[in-house]
């Protein structure tokens, strides 16, 4: 057993920034199941939304966020996160992050801000079209230079250890976690009274997604099994523009491209977004994704197209160098050709229920970033608010844990925590079954629980997931664990939570659209869909 003052699960922007803050107060372990840069944050293209211009204001950013959230945002959380954003941007700059700049009319350098769907002002800071990579690399460099931080790559967090799981009737609190070491297949016990989940989202629950391979809903599933509440998992954001090409199935085309004038057109070359929303191609993502889905079904085409070729070639290549390069690799020159695009699962707006400090109902357990549900996003996330939330809530979570559970003063410091027991489990020689179940979950979620839903489709998904869950549990208890089995277990748990939340919402709001209830329920105040295990 190894003891730490803080354990952070995940190495995206939320996890790495939390580690840097926590290192001021004690020893920190950062647990990540693959390499440190295998995260959703590292894949983020567009940027980070923050008020940094005199032409903008906190109030405008708050109102844009509330409008996008379709009545389900918690306004106090929105105001806190938006207001604290500028200080977190300054921290990033101190850590070495470089955002694109330009010369102002007065002759001094200022941030080169762009605009994305749902924003009333230019407020998105970016580093070309690889903002997430710039932030992740600079944060990781700072983490590696900090002696108080132990980075545990290729360590898969299996489950949280809590007093409730151990059978104690006192206040439920976290005690640490069990972790699978990928190099030798052993399971180690990490002990801490302060655990921060920063595991990102669950895009890999779906067949088509912009997310990396690691996004399998691990944090939501672990927190749920540990007794934390989960809310609003029905609100899965489908990014409208994922490259449609067999060689690059998960390549995102940033919304910033539409902010710079790219137009969505059908296979006939006609712009169609004005038919769906007066804001055209800059409407919020839920509207654009549904419009594209409808156009594809209406025309019978496999995709629609995003066209920025009317802009100067040097403008395109300087603003979107990585997209230009990636598209050239598959024979598409975006300076001359429209880009074939389709919607794909992108971001979970629900998650583990937390307050504005990232604190869950399990004492000592926080969830930050995409895995948490602070109330910032409501029923639909405003573009580029995600990285902002990562930075603000990670700082607040560390401060909260230090206040509530000062390091070195734990009342349960010597509480006995059992080591992992494998029992009679044997090696699994039927990996093909695991891979089959993985594919089945992703396909049924895409077919039954994607952009447009019905009650019948959701019931079918729920029934099949119940059977899959029994099969996965049998694998889990009878065979030695592997990363493939753990991801499958988390996928089926997370998919089941999405379906359960969707079945409980009898209206269409934000990212949840059902043909059975195509309108918002205006007969009562908007309600979160909250699930409690016990």
pLDDT digits (tens, 9 = 90+) for 202-261: 999 998 899 999 999 999 999 999 999 999 999 999 999 999 998 887 788 988 899 899
Contact 233, 351 (CB under 8 A): yes
Quote the tokens at residue 42. Answer: 């590292």
Please state, in angstroms and rounded to a whole number, the distance separating the CA atoms of residues 416 and 168: 12
| 55: pLDDT strictly greater than 60 | yes
Please state, in angstroms and rounded to a whole number, the distance separating the CA atoms of residues 305 and 392: 36
Question: What is the pLDDT, as a whole number, of residue 456?
Answer: 97
Question: What is the pLDDT, as a whole number, of residue 496?
Answer: 98
Over residues 414-435, the pLDDT tens digits come to: 567 888 877 656 566 667 888 8
Residue 69 banded pLDDT, cuts 50, 70, 90: very high
| 394: pLDDT strictly greater than 80 | yes
CB atoms within 10 A of CB 14: 36
Mean pLDDT of 302-310: 95
Mean pLDDT of 318-329: 94
For β-strands 2-3 and 187-191, DSSP reports them as parallel
Please state, in angstroms and rounded to a whole number, the distance separating the CA atoms of residues 188 and 420: 7
Mean pLDDT of 302-306: 94
Question: What is the pLDDT, as a whole number, of residue 335?
Answer: 97
| 412: pLDDT strictly greater than 70 | no
Residue by residue, DSSP assigns 18-66 as HHHHHTTTS-EEEE-SS-TT-SHHHH--S-EE---STT--HHHHHHHHH
Over residues 110-141, the pLDDT tens digits come to: 999 999 888 999 999 999 888 999 999 999 99
Question: What is the pLDDT, as a whole number, of residue 499?
Answer: 98
In this predicted model, which residue has the larger pLDDT, 43 or 74? Answer: 74
Over residues 328-371, the pLDDT tens digits come to: 999 999 999 999 999 999 999 999 999 999 999 999 999 999 99
Return the SS3 of 129. Answer: coil
Q: How does the average pLDDT of the chain come out, rounded?
A: 93
Question: Active site includes 285?
Answer: yes
Q: Is the pTM of this model over 0.85?
A: yes
Question: What is the pLDDT, as a whole number, of residue 106?
Answer: 85
- Could you give the percent of the chain with pLDDT greater than 70? 97
In order of 243, 251, 257, 436, the CA distances from 246 in angstroms are 9, 10, 22, 21
| 169: pLDDT strictly greater than 60 | yes
Residue 480 banded pLDDT, cuts 50, 70, 90: confident
Contact 257, 324 (CB under 8 A): no
CA angle centred on 407, ends 35 and 141, rounded to 5°: 30
Over residues 264-297, the pLDDT tens digits come to: 999 889 999 999 999 998 888 888 999 998 998 8
Domains defined for the chain, CATH in brackets: 2-234+349-404 (3.50.50.60), 243-343 (3.90.700.10), 431-522 (1.20.58.100)
| 107: pLDDT strictly greater than 90 | no
Residue of 88, 194, 285, 505 with catalytic role? 285
Question: What is the pLDDT, as a whole number, of residue 193?
Answer: 94
E strand or H helix at 373:
strand 372-373
| 486: pLDDT strictly greater than 90 | yes
Q: Which residues contact 37 (CB under 8 A, 6 or more apart)?
A: 11, 133, 136, 137, 140
Residue 301, exposed/middle/buried by CB under 10 A (0-12, 13-18, 19+)?
middle
């Amino acid at each position: 057993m190894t003891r730490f003052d803080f354990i952070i699960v995940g190495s995206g922007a939320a996890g790495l920034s939390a580690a840097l803050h926590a290192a001021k107060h004690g020893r920190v372990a950062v647990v990540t199941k693959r390499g440190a840069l295998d995260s959703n944050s590292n894949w983020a293209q567009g940027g980070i939304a923050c008020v940094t211009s005199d032409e903008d204001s906190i109030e405008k950013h708050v109102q844009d966020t509330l409008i996008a959230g379709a009545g389900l945002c918690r306004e106090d959380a929105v105001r806190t996160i938006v207001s604290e954003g500028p200080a977190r941007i300054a921290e990033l700059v101190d850590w070495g992050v470089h955002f694109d700049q330009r010369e102002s009319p007065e002759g001094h350098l200022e941030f080169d801000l762009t605009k994305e769907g749902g924003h009333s002002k230019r407020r998105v800071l970016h580093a070309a079209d690889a903002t997430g990579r710039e932030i992740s690399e600079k944060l990781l460099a700072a983490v590696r230079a900090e002696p108080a931080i132990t980075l545990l790559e290729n360590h898969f967090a299996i489950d949280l250890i809590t007093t409730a799981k151990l059978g104690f009737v006192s206040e439920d609190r976290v005690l640490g976690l069990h972790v699978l070491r990928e190099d030798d297949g052993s399971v180690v016990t990490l002990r801490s009274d302060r655990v921060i989940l920063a595991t990102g989202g669950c895009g890999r629950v779906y067949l088509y997604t912009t997310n990396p391979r690691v996004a399998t809903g691990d944090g939501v599933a672990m927190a749920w099994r540990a007794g934390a509440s989960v809310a609003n998992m029905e609100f899965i954001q489908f990014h409208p523009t994922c490259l449609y090409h067999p060689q690059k199935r998960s390549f995102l085309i940033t919304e910033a491209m539409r902010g710079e004038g790219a137009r969505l057109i059908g296979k006939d070359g006609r712009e169609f977004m004005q038919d769906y929303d007066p804001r055209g191609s800059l409407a919020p993502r839920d509207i654009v994704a549904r419009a594209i889905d409808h156009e594809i079904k209406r025309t019978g085409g496999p995709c629609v197209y995003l066209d920025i070729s009317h802009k100067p070639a040097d403008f395109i290549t300087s603003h979107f160098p990585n997209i230009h390069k990636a598209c050239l690799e598959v024979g598409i020159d975006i300076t001359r050709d429209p880009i074939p695009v389709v919607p794909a699962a992108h971001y979970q707006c629900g998650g583990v229920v937390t307050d504005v400090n990232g604190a869950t109902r399990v004492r000592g357990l926080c969830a930050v970033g995409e895995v948490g549900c602070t109330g910032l996003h409501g029923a639909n996330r405003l573009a580029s608010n995600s990285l902002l939330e990562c930075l603000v809530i990670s700082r607040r979570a560390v401060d909260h844990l230090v206040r509530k559970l000062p390091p070195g003063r734990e009342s349960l410091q010597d509480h006995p925590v059992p080591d992992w027991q494998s029992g009679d489990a044997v090696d699994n020689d039927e990996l093909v079954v695991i891979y089959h179940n993985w594919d089945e979950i992703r396909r049924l979620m895409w077919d039954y629980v994607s952009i447009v839903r019905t009650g019948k489709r959701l019931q079918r998904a729920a029934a099949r997931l119940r059977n899959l869950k029994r099969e996965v549990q049998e694998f889990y208890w009878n065979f030695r664990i592997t990363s493939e089995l753990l991801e499958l277990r988390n996928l089926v748990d997370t998919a089941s939570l999405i379906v359960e939340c969707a079945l409980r919402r009898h209206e269409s709001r934000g990212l949840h659209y059902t043909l059975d209830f195509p309108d918002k329920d205006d007969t009562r105040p908007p309600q979160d869909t909250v699930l409690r295990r016990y």
